[in-house]
A and B are shown apart, each in its own frame.
Chain A
Amino acid sequence: MIKQVVLVCLILSTACFNIFLATIIFVTTSFATTNNHPLENIVFSQDPASLQRGAMIYYDVCRICHSMKYIRYKTLQEIGLSNKQIDTLRGDKPENSTPEKTTSDHMLSTLYGQVPPDLSLMAKARKHGPQYIYTLLTSYTENEGKYENPVFPGIKMPDAMNIAVAINESSKEEIKNQAKDVTEFLLWASDPRASIRKKIGLYVIIYFSILSILLYFVMKRVWSRLDNVES
């Protein structure tokens, strides 16, 4: 009996092992860019209010230069925007359409030498994507009218959040919060199915843990037929 209890604990610990694994992966991951600039290790909550603010910042600021070709206006319902708000955002575009940049490609390549990348997948397309985006947005400094960014030396993108010219600490805090909101939104956009995935995943793991325990006892029962036979 004790042996069986121990084994049940073992199977339960398989489930716990998954959590341990997640923790270890999280703890041992060093947050740094390829040029070894440390990234701010913030946790993203995917809170709807923050996502909605982030969507607005994207719409008003980032969209000037960056498209999001895998996001459709109607899917913004999933972060809690009302149909009316979405109608205002999309204007006369169909609800199935995707946000396009407001500056022409030709203009952008004249200004920056290349067309700025699409942002739909940005939070997954960089190592530690969300931390990278947040640190990048908040690391701009100004030096004699020229912008610099230690996270991405030689970056062409201007200081869109105006953090380099923030007049005091409180406005700097404000900008950091906005940077976090827009990063939350980009994180959601890179994988809109993440929340449902984790929700289903929890049930699936619980299901298989219980099934494993039951199958363990079935196995013991079947094998107990052999106990009378000398080995």
Chain B
Amino acid sequence: MKHVIGWIDRRFPLTAFVKHELTEYPTPRNLSFWWNFGSLAGIVLVIQIITGIFLAMHYKPDASLAFDSVEHIMREVNYGWLIRFMHSTGASAFFAMIFIHMARTLYYGSYRAPRELMWWTGQVLLLLLMATAFMGYLLPWGQMSYWGAQVITSLFGAVPFLGDEMVIWLRGDFTVGNATLTRFFALHYLLPFIIVAAVIIHLVALHAVRSSNPSGINLKDKNNIPFHPYFTVKDLFGISVFFTVYSYFVFFNPNLLIEADNYIPANPMQTPAHIVPEWYFLPFYAILRAVPDLVGGVIAMALSVMIFAAMPYLDRSKIPGGARYRPIFRIMFYLFMLDILVLGYVGAHPPEGFLVPLGQIATFFYFAAFAFLRFFSKWEDKWLFNRGLPAEVQAMLSSEQAQKTDRRHHKKDRRETPGDNHND
């Protein structure tokens, strides 16, 4: 074995890579379970790719065969129901993990320097995930698949001058049809591999700047522990708990998040009573509908997804630890979460009665939160400094300062890790 590894090492930096990225990769000791969701999103991506490849072996991307082929998978392929329900539940699980992962980043201010590129590569990943999920939803060729794709592709008609041509170019036809289905299938198979590439870039960036942590400062070297075995085992534990909950949905309630209408084959002549997107698009859908004008609505919806990218610029606070030591930011964080839930509720119901003004107010607060942040973050810092920071924050700030001077003197000792001394 040693010979084989030695042989490889002379030709490829295998041992050096494992050392640098795993056994010696320094990770903050104080990471909470909220830091598990990145690896959970990764495992869902793996589930989706594997089940997706097996589904593609039996699925037929043809408007006249697609619906039947899904039922064929559900009824006649050995364990086809399992693969299919793992894939359909996995889509929701993916978004759930990503939303929690993003919420953690927002709460702890992990998007702040030097992690802006982590946040922006994550933003690209979110867009790729949304595109992939949207295209995948057309493939079962049910009523909601069909009409959802019809509504969303028609939004591109809002693009000035080129709008109508763009809609036809996207659909490959004047309405959603066979041409749309085949291209969505091709792209739905392609995009996950682009997501994998983007995840690798995300991880390369992570290993350059390293994980943030609940304290919000760079910890002293002795408080960083090697990723393996401490975080490999912690991630494995998280994955196992995730599978327990995921299994409930796959085996006992797989149709909970599938609209009943999607078990009716697509019918271009009959529009369903209410066209609703999947739950993970509901808040954005509510924002789209809150603006009375189509062009304005499309802009608002695009902005509502993209505005997260501006967070490093909008949040000017210097207080470490994100929301932990910033009372106003913390309240705003929870209000923002509540606002998203309200938008989700509004998006799920037909726009009638009080839901119309409610959606508009919630949309206003959604954007107001970001706009307000730019101004109050500096002011909140000033207020907190004047009032006197808690002793622990003060200590953290001074220790960070001390570390910075320290590091200039002892640049060479940085790689030392405490876990190595205690292999019992």
Binding site for B on A (CB under 8 A): 11, 14-15, 17-18, 21-22, 25, 34, 70, 75, 120-121, 124-127, 129, 190-193, 197-198, 200-202, 204-205, 208-209, 211-212, 215-216, 218-219, 222-223, 225-226, 228-231
What sequence of 0s and 1s flags, for each residue 350-361 of chain B, a beta carbon within 8 Å of any chain A beta carbon?
000000000000
Interface contact A222-B233, CB-CB below 8 Å: yes
B163 lies within 8 A of chain A by Cβ: no
How far, in Å, is B139 (CB) from chain A's closest CB? 17
Q: Do A226 and B422 touch across chains, with their CB atoms under 8 A apart?
A: yes
Contacts A17-B245, A121-B263; is A208 near B253 (CB within 8 Å)? Answer: no
Q: Which residues of B from 64 to 82 have beta carbons under 8 Å from A?
A: 71, 74-75, 81-82
* Chain A neighbourhood of B82, CB < 8 A: 197, 200
Cα A113 to Cα B419 in complex, Å, equals 77
Partner among B244, B256, B263, B424 whose Cβ is within 8 Å of the Cβ of A225: B424
Tell me if B261 counts as interface (CB < 8 A to partner A): yes
B256 touching A208, Cβ below 8 Å = no
Q: How large is the interface on B (under 10, 10 to 19, 20 to 34, 35 or more residues)?
A: 35 or more
A124 CB to nearest chain B CB (Å): 4
Q: Which A residues are in CB contact (< 8 Å) with B29?
A: 226, 231
In the assembly, what is the distance between CA of A181 and CA of B365, in Å?
52
A37 to B325 alpha-carbon distance, docked (Å): 52
Q: Judge whether B244 and A201 touch: CB under 8 Å.
A: no
Q: Do B422 and A228 have beta carbons less than 8 Å apart?
A: yes
B240 to A208, Cβ gap below 8 A? yes
| Alpha-carbon distance A225/B248, docked complex (angstroms) | 35
The 6 closest A-B CB pairs, nearest first, are A201-B251, A18-B248, A125-B263, A208-B244, A215-B237, A212-B240
The reply to whether A225 and B419 form a contact with Cβ atoms under 8 Å apart is yes
Q: Would you call the interface of chain B mostly helix, strand, loop, or mixed?
A: helix
Q: List 16 A-B contacts (CB under 8 A).
A: A14-B241, A14-B244, A14-B245, A34-B273, A121-B263, A124-B255, A125-B263, A200-B82, A201-B252, A204-B251, A205-B247, A219-B236, A219-B237, A226-B419, A229-B222, A231-B29
Q: Is B268 at the interface (CB under 8 A from chain A)?
A: no
In the assembled complex, B152 has its CB within 8 A of some CB on chain A:
no
Q: Give the A-B contact count at a CB cut-off of 8 A.
A: 111
B85, B240, B254 — most chain A CB neighbours (10 Å): B240
Q: Quick one: which of B55-104 are within 8 Å of A by CB?
A: 71, 74-75, 81-82, 85
Query: Which has the most chain A C-beta neighbours within 10 Å: B230, B241, B419?
Result: B241
Contacts A129-B260, A201-B252, A226-B419; A121 near B71 (Cβ below 8 A):
yes
Residues in A with CB closer than 8 Å to B424 are 225
Cβ of A24 to closest chain B Cβ, rounded Å: 11
Asked if residues B260 and A212 are in contact (CB atoms below 8 Å), the reply is no
Report B374 CB to chain A, min CB distance, Å: 36
Bound form: Cα–Cα A179–B233 in Å: 54
* In the complex, chain A residues whose CB is within 8 Å of the CB of B71: 70, 120-121
From A75, A192, A204, A225, contact of B247 by CB (8 A): A204
Which A residues are CB-close (under 8 A) to B418?
A: 226, 229
- Give A120 to B74 CA distance when docked, in angstroms: 12
Residues on the B chain within 8 Å of A129, using CB: 260
A residues in contact with B319, CB < 8 Å: none
CA–CA, A124 and B136, complex, Å: 20
Q: Which residue of B lies closest to A17 (CB)?
A: B245
Whether B32 sits at the interface, judged by CB under 8 Å, is: no
Cα of A219 to Cα of B230 in the assembled complex, Å: 7
Contact B253 A222 (CB under 8 A): no
Taking the complex as formed, is B264 at the interface, i.e. its CB lies under 8 A from any CB of chain A? Answer: yes
What is the CB-to-nearest-CB distance from B37 to chain A, in angstroms, rounded to a whole number?
16
